[in-house]
Amino acid sequence: MNLPTELSISVIIPVHNGGEAFRQCLSSLNMVKSIITEVIVVADGEADNSWQIAAEWGAKVIRVQEKSGPAKARNLGAKLAKGEIFFFVDADVAIAPNTINQVKLNFQENANLAALIGSYDDAPGASNFLSQYKNLFHHYTHQNANEDAFTFWGACGAIRRDIFLIMGGFDENYRRPCVEDIELGYRLKNSGYKIKLDKTLQVKHLKRWEIISLIKAEVSDRALPWTQLILRQGKMPSDLNLGWSTRLSIILVYSLLITLIASWWQWQLLLITVPICILLLIINAPVYRFFVYKRGFLFALQVLPWHWFYYFYSGLAFILGIFFFKFSSYAVQ
């Protein structure tokens, strides 16, 4: 089989204090160095010499003295890039040996394809429970999503150079890593461009999640700004984290919580909690079967409270997002 070499690819990586994960990211690129046009690293206000590690590895390095966020960092990298395809990779992600060729094949086989995204694999780098749960849940979500995607993804996302420049790149008003990639995807779709989710295009996430970092990322860096983006767009796609099962599960979790509180005064209401819990288990049965298959029954039991807690704070963030959008000048960016 002849390897696809016609398209030139620039890999663009924003990094802020990348640490050991960034070293592994660069190491994974060693295997495909010969078929990449260039690797551009944008050191975004870092203080751990990540820029020096990148320079020693052989990457082109742009140093930003004051942290400005991944949106601006990626745009700066794109201005320097020469490839026909811009392939954006996060600094805490390791690519697979066949990743670059998969990207090339997708664009070569479909001239109408504007952008391409992948997913995390099912073998996260960090071994603690929250990291395994979070990254495996992300893997499950992408593997069960529509291949005709409505969003872009900065951790493993490729886009044609000319289209990226036409769209004006990422929105630099987002100064934290949040929904700058989703927002670009919305603009691409609204402009009639095709985005594909290739479920076989998988990369390894190396990030270690802890309780505080997980909740902060999912609420303030994802759910709140995504809610405001949805309200600005005026539509909510039924895909990824926005499907009908998620919406119904949020309603059920809040019904369960209200019932438990009310049962303090009317104990008979506890009887209602049983069918609510059964419904939650039935609706989310595919998710729990996935965790049982991947990590076993005991791991899946640990997933249950975190998954239902996820529905709780997602619903709360959606309500807060509506409030901020309608009644406050506060913008989550």
Q: For the residues of 53-111, what is the DSSP string, one character each? A: HHHHHT-EEEEESS---HHHHHHHHHHH---SEEEEE-TTEE--TTHHHHHHHHHHH-T
Higher confidence at residue 333 or residue 248?
248
Output the pLDDT for position 242: 64
Q: What residues does 116 pair with on adjacent strands?
A: 158, 196
Looking at per-residue pLDDT, the higher value among 31 and 200 belongs to: 200
Residue 226 has pLDDT above 90, yes or no: no
**More confidently predicted of 40 and 44:** 40
Between 73 and 3, where is the model more confident?
73
Q: What angle do CA 60, 61, 67 make, to 5 degrees?
A: 155
41-95 pLDDT per residue, tens: 999 887 788 889 999 999 999 998 888 889 999 999 999 999 999 999 999 999 9
| pLDDT range class, residue 237, cuts 50, 70, 90 | low
- Per-residue model confidence (pLDDT) at position 272: 86
Q: What percent of the chain has pLDDT over 90?
A: 65
Q: Which of 78-82, 270-274, 317-321 has the highest mean pLDDT?
A: 78-82
Q: Where are the domains of the chain?
A: 9-209, 240-327
Class of domain 9-209: alpha beta
Average pLDDT, whole number, for the chain? 89
Q: Residue 323 pLDDT more than 80? A: no
Give the CA radius of gyration of the chain.
Answer: 21
Integer Cα distance of 319 and 30 in angstroms? 45
Question: Within 192-269, where are the H helices?
Answer: 211-218, 224-233, 244-262
DSSP 3-state of 265: coil
Give the tens place of pLDDT for each residue, 90-117: 999 999 999 999 999 999 999 999 999 9
From the number of C-beta atoms within 10 Å of its C-beta (0-12, 13-18, 19+), residue 185 rates as buried
From residue 277, give the alpha-carbon distance in Å to each of 55, 192, 252, 280, 310: 54, 42, 8, 5, 15
- Which residues have C-beta within 8 Å of that of residue 257, sequence separation ≥ 6? 312
pLDDT(4) > 60: no
Instruction: State the pairing for strand pair 85-89/156-160.
Output: antiparallel
Q: What share of the chain is helix, strand, coil (3-state, %, to 5)?
A: 55, 15, 30
What pLDDT sits at residue 327?
A: 67
pLDDT at 87: 97
pLDDT of residue 1 exceeding 50: no
